[in-house]
Amino acid sequence: MKQQVIISEKLEQSLEQAIASCVHDKLFILTDEMTHHLCLPLIQDYSCMSGCCEISIGATDEHKNLETLAAVWTALGTAGATRHSLLINLGGGMVTDLGGFAASTFKRGIAYINVPTTLLAMVDASVGGKTGINFNGLKNEIGVFNPAQSVLLDTEFLKSLDDRNLRSGYAEMLKHGLISTVENWAELLRFDLSAVDYEQLQRMVATSVAIKEHVVEQDPFEQGIRKALNLGHTVGHAFESLALEENRTVLHGYAVAWGLVCELYLSCVKVGFPRDRMRQTVQFIRENYGAFVFDCKKYERLYELMTHDKKNTAGTVNFTLLADVGDIRINQTASKEEIFQMLDFYRETMGC
């Protein structure tokens, strides 16, 4: 099923149409502690939200777990949800991932709509049909492919978003630029994240989502070219998992940005990505994201975490690399020695 992605100019009208397109008996909305206070007030008085039952969960990725998922199932059941009910996920990637998985599995699946409120969720988590939770210390270990009926994108929500979460989402846009065209990539490097132009950002979000949609349409279940969207993620997820173990949680987009530094280095070494473009991208990341600091004693653990990545086959670490901007090379491998050299490059370049 192809999901409908709506770049919304008038959220009330867009939400009304999205809800009306899903025949349902009861309407539910999932929020977290942040979106309950900052975002729900923007839509709760819409006539289309009349009689809606709210389910609220803890904010941040540490709540994206089996316990929270069970709490959402329980709340749906207690409030009388049936397989004909409809769930709206109002929040960032954690809410859209977990809410999408809860909807996909409750009574073998109910319809859901994503209303992403963070830049990361708009350009990544809410689009493409991936749902899931973290499990056993690993990111998104349990989940299903099941697209939302509709995804409503309105950058009005971004005005209440803090700087760090805005930058987190922007890292996924940078990844989309790298896998598309030199023009998109160059525009992303020129954008001033310290003085955000929201009109320009809305246009760039639309472009970014279109890039992801185009890839997902070609390969909805990640058998081939959809792996392009994993650029930066093999190393990025390892950084996230290590940070979680060490109780210094990092935002997903920051981890992806640092992962891009590593995987662009591998792209240079293994498939000839232009060094000047790598340097420009790495400089942008260093200036806008700082660095994830670790020493060489962590190399073994990071390598071990990379071997758990879902894209791997038979324990061989699998990367998506680039021969140039838009020239995607999926299913690339690297030896342990090459991965350690990549981590050396990261620490030297990022000043760790």
List the chain pLDDT tens, one digit each, 352 residues. Answer: 667 889 888 999 999 999 999 999 999 999 999 999 999 999 999 999 999 999 999 998 889 999 999 999 999 999 999 999 999 999 999 999 999 999 999 999 999 999 999 999 999 877 888 999 999 988 889 999 999 999 999 988 998 899 999 999 999 999 999 999 999 999 999 999 999 999 899 899 999 999 999 998 899 888 899 999 999 999 999 999 999 899 998 999 999 999 999 999 999 999 999 999 999 999 999 999 999 999 999 999 999 999 987 777 767 899 999 999 999 999 999 999 999 999 999 999 999 8
Tell me whether residue 230 is one of the annotated catalytic residues: yes
d(CA 65, CA 273): 38
Tell me whether residue 233 is one of the annotated catalytic residues: yes
Tell me whether residue 108 is one of the annotated catalytic residues: yes
Domains of the chain and CATH, by start: 4-161 (3.40.50.1970), 167-350 (1.20.1090.10)
Tell me whether residue 222 is one of the annotated catalytic residues: yes
Catalytic residue chosen out of the listed positions 64, 226, 227, 347: 226
Tell me whether residue 252 is one of the annotated catalytic residues: yes
73 burial type by CB count under 10 A (0-12 exposed, 13-18 middle, 19+ buried): middle
Q: What is the pLDDT of residue 2?
A: 66
Name, in order, each residue with C-beta under 8 angstroms of 178's C-beta and a sequence gap of 6 or more: 185, 231, 260, 264, 281, 322, 325, 326
Catalytic residue chosen out of the listed positions 227, 237, 277, 347: 237
Q: What is the pLDDT of residue 335?
A: 94
Catalytic residue chosen out of the listed positions 36, 172, 227, 329: 172
Catalytic residue chosen out of the listed positions 64, 134, 167, 222: 222
Catalytic residue chosen out of the listed positions 130, 176, 277, 347: 130
The beta-carbon contacts of 62-71 under 8 Å, at least 24 apart in sequence, are 62/244, 62/249, 63/32, 63/94, 63/98, 64/94, 64/97, 64/98, 64/133, 64/134, 65/133, 65/134, 65/135, 66/133, 66/135, 66/142, 68/98, 68/133, 69/98, 69/101, 69/102, 69/133
Instruction: Decide if 165 contacts 91 (C-beta within 8 A).
Output: no
Tell me whether residue 212 is one of the annotated catalytic residues: yes
Catalytic residue chosen out of the listed positions 175, 252, 329, 347: 252
Tell me whether residue 24 is one of the annotated catalytic residues: no
Tell me whether residue 107 is one of the annotated catalytic residues: no
Q: Write b or e for each residue in 286-295: b if 16 or more Cβ atoms lie within 10 A of its Cβ, otherwise e.
A: bebbebbebe
